[in-house]
Structure 1
């Protein structure tokens, strides 16, 4: 309650209320204009009706999930003029053209910086067929090479990552790059910031970037200026502005730390106290992360710099952060590591493809932890086919949700999952925020990508895929330990859920791709 009142105070007396009022006012003006259009210009109104019909034909023929199509066809049929204009505004995404152009420029700048070395090529060729095809796609199509000389450490809780993160930050000698979706003052961020300030005084280059959504309730709009006073280079990605813009839907959901090009962290843990259970929001917060050491850090360094340079005017500097990275003890080859990123400005759906590949290559089992489950029919069929051909598919979802409507939608999938043989469990102590896939004791992926439309299509995301790496055993061990704290979902359990949850879930599912 105390935290809720704090947020409410920030909304009422801060910049948040101004943004909300400005956006609502603009939406009201547009809606009023559409209504008046019918009275003053019947010809234009009828022309828009015809446009709506053509848009439906256009939507049906688009190369996108059927759920996306249905989510637009329904409102266009119900409200032809308004639905058509909203579709043009949102799907045209004119305000995102600049973002796509800028990021494309940075990706072009970094061509050739990420590659598979000769030793890794030889190792891939002598490995299993499943890895060969997957590594080929990731390297040649997605642009994320495999590395053979890298190691990893898995953290089953945010607290575990936090302790080691502080230790690694203290070792920094050249640079520290930090990119997070959420930064919130508190025990976790204050401890990290204290080290960053000291390192900046020592001459270490420190850069901090966080998503502009934080400026709504968590951080003041001028916070980057405050960090710069400490000698820290800081910026918000896509600051929230009081103007109707579809580009504000594309958030930077990544969690990346890179230290001296030697160590990188990623996973679901943000820099806020609930992620380390220092405060309680939705029961016990179950989240995971990984630390990667070795040449695979190179990919995270480039991913960070690409995003950082999106808002810069000059050409980006990259090679100075990639060369002369020396290790006191070079990492011993430990299977394969493939860091990867997802961007809404490219047609390749890397995150979804990585997850689908795990299902397609599985022979024994696929075990999953995810906080949200709102997927398209294509991905659902991929999961169900794996289960029906004898693969053990087990999912862990939250029992205490952070977003109730999203939770109700996820529960509407239970009958379809259970009837195909997929086992579903809910984490009874609280909220699962981990994004984990592990399969056959041979492969796993940990990152920021949820099983929902936002992660698959709208957000900037990242992760790390492991094959024949010793970290896979630790991930599976943690999954089994977490399973002991869960309750199994059955059809009887689903039928006993409150009717209002099912109604809200089923109704909202119609518009799930747009949420």
Structure 2
């Protein structure tokens, strides 16, 4: 062989050895391991650049910081609930169905998440209405405003949010904002200066405010949480940006689902924010876990039991995925799901197909347009596969569907930040509200039925007429699904 050939062979051998060593340094499931080996071996040298961007895990130090604040937050919350009735309210209510009680116990065991009653909910599916309500609540704040979003863009809506926060900061209200640098491109220190100059505090979750010094795709803070004065909380799928209020021509109408919460659950949202904030900032900026004790109402007076469940790469339990799987497997009548990304792992895929083949009415609604090309093609692959096994898949056609909801038997529901995809299960920090209330589940079911009028059913005839090239793109994207 020529010298050049020897050099090429040497590079390929070293690249392969480097790929094996790099991937096996961290404990991963088999599918993710093979996906990264595929990238690193078949894209010599370039693959390592991709891995540095999308494959690196969290450092042991960061994981320890998160876990320490998790323990501190849970301990503080439980310690404040000294009244006997309040202690009982941290346990599954006796009137829950057996399936609901099992789900409650799952989250108690994996996330120490208490089920809390005495709540009132408002459901928002329109961005303009959601942010109008949020800005009214911000304007009425007297003590503090805590905000955590994956995306806060420096656009018209982002500046509008900032103006409301600046006004309250000038009145002496404590303002703390936590956001993800990768999800909030453009929201630099300069953008936030009007707020920080009047005393507001702004931090990026475990990262620099500049993406070039935070060159990492995975392990992002995908949560969306707002807590105001121990009185009002928000949780759901809306981020902060013009596209989320339907001002972006690319997406048209933005269809999402968000909850406004009043009652005991606000304290659970507050604890979650404090955990994330304290795990991010230096010691001198940390906040004491001043959680308000629950009201001393009798259990018989409680309504709308809710569990706030968080998951992330700091915990191997994959709590929200376990919750989704448990909900699906416990269904006796129906499972209705809305998700922008349908990239389930084998466990969730098998649960969905098992339910459908058992005669359960399984319906999944996804967007009919892409916002991420590879994920859209992978979603198409799984939509086709699930349709062939009896799941009804609908494509929403009145804009972009970004809602993350699940309704089971019209009795239990989940609303939050977690998509039905591997990234939400394993790679990002997520938060969902699991709701044990027939009335709320019924409202979400009505919303789903209204969305059906703006959707089309995927059929085997349509799948069979898809081109070979489209099928190739779907299958190739599916190969990368563990790392998308």
Fold match (TM-score > 0.5): yes
Residues 52 and 80 of structure 1 are in contact (CA less than 8 Å); yes or no, is this contact kept in structure 2?
A: no
* 2:74 match: secondary structure: coil
* Corresponding residue for residue 357 of structure 2: 388
Give 1:260 deviation, angstroms. Answer: 0.8
**Is 1:265 matched with 2:234?**
yes
Q: Distance in 2 between matches of 1:326 and 1:123?
A: 17
Root mean square deviation of aligned Cα? 3.3
Matches within 5 A, 1:364-383: 364-383=333-352
Aligned counterpart in structure 1 of residue 191 of structure 2, from 217, 223, 227: 223
Q: Superposed, which structure 2 residues align to 1:471-510 within 5 Å?
A: 471-510=440-479
What does residue range 88-103 of structure 1 map to in structure 2 within 5 Å?
93=57, 96-103=59-66
Aligned positions of 1:116-515 closer than 5 A? 117-120=86-89, 124-214=93-183, 216=185, 218-237=186-205, 238-239=207-208, 240-242=210-212, 246=216, 248-314=217-283, 316-320=286-290, 322-323=291-292, 333-515=302-484
Q: Deviation of residue 249 (structure 1)?
A: 2.0
Corresponding residue for 2:67?
104
Question: 28, 31, 39: which one pairs with 1:67?
Answer: 31
Aligned-partner Cα distance in 1 for 2:40–2:135 = 52
Cα pair distance change 1:204/1:331, threshold 3 Å: farther
Deviation at 1:80, TM superposition (A): 9.0
Change (3 A) 1:214 1:111: closer
> Are the equivalent residues in 2 in contact too, given 1:261–1:325 (CA < 8 A)?
no
Quickly say closer, same or farther: Cα 1:382–1:201, change in 2 above 3 A: same
Distance in 1, matches of 2:53 and 2:335, equals 40
Shift of 1:372: 0.7
What is the TM-score when the length of structure 1 is the normalising length?
A: 0.82
SS class of match (1:165)? helix
Q: What is the SS of the residue equivalent to 1:195? A: helix
Q: Give distance in 2, aligned partners of 1:372 and 1:179.
A: 22
Question: Would the alpha carbon gap of residues 331 and 459 (structure 1) be closer, same or farther in structure 2, given more than 3 Å must change?
Answer: farther
Identify if the C-alpha distance between structure 1 residues 254 and 84 changes in structure 2 by more than 3 Å, giving closer, same or farther.
Answer: closer
Provide closer, same or farther for how the CA distance between residues 55 and 201 of structure 1 changes in structure 2, counting only shifts above 3 A. Answer: closer
TM-score normalised by L of structure 2: 0.87
Structure 2, unmatched stretches of 5+, are none
What CA deviation, in whole Å up to 9, does each residue of 1:187-246 have, x standing for no partner? Answer: 433333222122112211111121111564x32343333420132111222234435855
**Where does residue 32 of structure 1 map in the other structure?**
none
2:151 and 2:184 in contact (8 A); partners too: no
Q: 1:300 to 1:399 in 2, by over 3 A?
A: same
CA distance in 1 between partners of 2:293 and 2:160 (Å):
30
Partner SS state of residue 367, structure 1: strand
Aligned pairs, number:
470
1:319–1:514 CA distance, 2 compared to 1 (3 A): closer
Aligned to 2:280, the other structure's residue is in SS state: coil
State the distance in 1 between where 2:50 and 2:394 align. Answer: 38
Supply the distance in 1 between the matched residues of 2:471 and 2:456 (Cα, whole angstroms). 20
Alpha-carbon deviations, 1:329-363, whole Å to 9, x = none?
x9952231011112212111012112112101111
* Deviation of 1:278 (Å): 3.3
